[in-house]
Structures are given as C-alpha cells and as structure tokens.
Amino acid sequence: MTSTISKPDQERTHPKDKFKLYGLALGGLLAGLLLGWLTISLLSGTLVFGSPSFHGTVIGSPAPMSDFTLTGHDGQQVRLHDFRDKVVLLYFGYTYCPDVCPATIAELSKAMKELNSKDREKVQVLMVTVDPDRDSPEVLGQYLSHFDPSFLGLTGTDEEIAAAAKPFGIYYQKKDGTVETGYLVDHTATVATVDKDGYLRLIYSFSTPGEDIAADLKRLAKD
C-alpha cells in the first residue's frame, strides 16, 4: 500500500547524481590528459622509469675485456688491467689526423673538466696510436698534454696494437694520401668505455658531446 510506485533511487535525477556525472567527466578528462602526457613523455624520452639511460650505446661485454700490453708515452709498460677500479675511455687514433681525432680528444677533455676532482681520479683516458711509425712516444705525449695532462698515449709494435684493437672491434688501415699528406689511416672513430671491473660498457660514436660523456662517467665512477 505504501509507495509501491516509487522509482529506484538511481533512476531519479537527483542533484547528487548530477554531481556524480560531472565528477566522472572531470575524472575521465584528467585520466585522459595524464595518459596522453605519459605516452608522449615516454615516447620522447623525457620521462624515464628506473635509472636514466646512458648517452653512449650500451654494450655490456659478457666477460671482462682481455688484457693488452703497450708502451705508454712516458716509456712505461702499460696494461689494460692496470686500470681496474678506474673507468677507462679508450680511443684509437693518430696525431697526424687533423679533423676527427682532435675533435674527439677535445670532447673527452671537455668531459673531464665537467667532473669533480674525486670522479676525475676514477677515470683514465687512453689513446692508442694506429700510426706507430709517425707517433713516437714523445709526439703522443706532447699531443695529449695539450688537451689534458692526465691523458695517456699508448704505442707498441704492429702486433701489439693489433692485439689491443681486435677485442674492441677497432678497424684501421693505412692508405695512400697525396704527395703533401703522405699516407693516411682510416680507422674506427668510436670511444670505448670499460668500467671499473673491466667490462666493456658503452661505445660513443663520433661527435658525442663531452657533457653527455661526463654525465655517464659520473654514474660509472660511482658504480
């Protein structure tokens, strides 16, 4: 007898329901905006979950890199394994090269200047000559000290240099230049990064800015 014809609550256009509707719309809009922002940020790389990515190409050798023995520009015997506990930036080049080699070494020098003294002590730049006939230890030393006195130049016999280059996939080949230039050397112009435990971690392609390299070094120096 009592209100048998009353409608169920949810079917009434109660003022409360109106608020619910607005709330739902607003919530949907916000969710859409958030989803869109996340998608764009993730796609464009401005938002990264977990640890930030490295600037170099991540390699990750399955085992520590094999050792090599070369001669430092100071005449001392130098082995790669001497630098365990340091991050090693390894570059193969030659001082007669006027364009790509100084451009690369200058970026490495810029990267070192970006580091604080504590991190800098944890990093060693090594340049192995692919032109041992023209790059005597003295020439290498003078060349590198222009960029950074801590950089170490390495040379050796043809066999020693080839043995050092091979595990890093470094190619180099002498070729004829002009009468004025004499021979030139084609070579892989990348920089290999070996971490404190001796694993190959990153490869930098030519023209990677020193600032980007420094950002990676700060992380590897603390690992």
Partner 1 sequence: MKSSLVFILCVLIGLALVACQPADQVDLVVTDIWGRSSPASAENAAFYMNIRNTGRVQDSLDSAEIDICDSTQLHETNIDDDGVMSMEHIMKINIPSGETVSLEPGGFHLMCLGLKSPLEAGEEIPIKLSFAETGELQVQAEIREG
Residues lying near partner 1 in the complex (CB under 8 A)? 95-100, 102-103, 105-106, 109, 138-139, 142-147, 171, 175, 177-178, 180-181, 184, 186-190, 203, 205-207
Run of H or E residues at 37: helix 15-44
Q: Beta strands 123-129 and 152-155: pairing type?
A: parallel
The number of angstroms, rounded, from the C-alpha of 24 to the middle of its chain's C-alpha atoms is 47
DSSP-derived 3-state class of residue 97: coil
CB of 150 to partner 1, least distance (A): 15
CB of 79 to partner 1, least distance (A): 25
CB of 115 to partner 1, least distance (A): 18
CB of 32 to partner 1, least distance (A): 41
CB of 160 to partner 1, least distance (A): 21
Answer for the pair 56, 195: CB distance below 8 angstroms, yes or no: no
97 or 196: whose CB is closer to partner 1?
97
152 or 189: whose CB is closer to partner 1?
189
CB of 180 to partner 1, least distance (A): 5
- The CA-to-CA distance between both ends of the chain, in Å, stands at 80
144 or 194: whose CB is closer to partner 1?
144
Q: What angle do CA 157, 151, 143 make, to 5 degrees?
A: 70
Separation between Cα atoms, residue 155 and residue 138, nearest integer Å: 11
**Residue 194, beta-bridge partner list:** 88, 200
157 or 181: whose CB is closer to partner 1?
181
The number of angstroms, rounded, from the C-alpha of 156 to the middle of its chain's C-alpha atoms is 27
Would you state the structure tokens that stand for residue 189, as one six-digit string? 């112009």
31 or 103: whose CB is closer to partner 1?
103
155 or 221: whose CB is closer to partner 1?
155
